[in-house]
Copies of this chain bind each other. A is one copy, B any other.
């Protein structure tokens, strides 16, 4: 047996309710308000105003009990609220895995987009219920709500991959997702 067998978590059953967007039992929940997204929106003044004007919840992440440690395979459900700030669609902070490993997202409700950036090239995958978006190792990723209702997806990711949010502040994501006629208009990235 591996040294990793020393039971960080036992075999278990987790109920994944796609209609409700829940995992049960549930691990830690993370809530991101507008004030947590400093430096990410193109329109800094619109961001400041939104923070002052109630600092709304932009997205939340509920996790399964499987921990984020090497060799485990945790899961989480992210729900992004619909909205725009300075015309830019509400989104996650985005991150790179410092330990480059692949990840999947499975769309479960609403309409979203998955923006991926490897430092040079950008890819956009539209997400609806039943879409698996695949992020190969080395591609930073951000999710965007492009619809009028909450957008939820299940993530499955190697527990030792890590989250580097600073990478996105430094390198950007290649494109920005603005509200457009068909839900989304992708434009070149300019600094926030």
Contacts and interface: CB of A to CB of B under 8 A. Distances in A.
A134 B12 CA distance: 5
Interface residues of A, number: 50
A138 to B, nearest CB: 4
A137 B72 contact: yes
Contacts of A135: 11
B64 A1 contact: no
Interface in A6-37: 7-18, 23
A11 B126 CA distance: 12
A169 interface: no
A2 B100 CA distance: 7
A12 B135 CA distance: 7
Contact of A11 (B4, B7, B123): B123
Interface stretch (A38-46, A49-57, A81-89, A156-164): A156-164
16 contacts: A2-B137, A5-B138, A9-B136, A10-B136, A11-B134, A11-B135, A13-B126, A16-B106, A18-B130, A72-B102, A73-B101, A73-B134, A73-B156, A75-B132, A102-B159, A156-B156
Interface of A: 1-2, 4-5, 7-18, 23, 64, 66, 71-73, 75, 100-104, 106, 116, 118-119, 123, 125-127, 130-139, 156-159
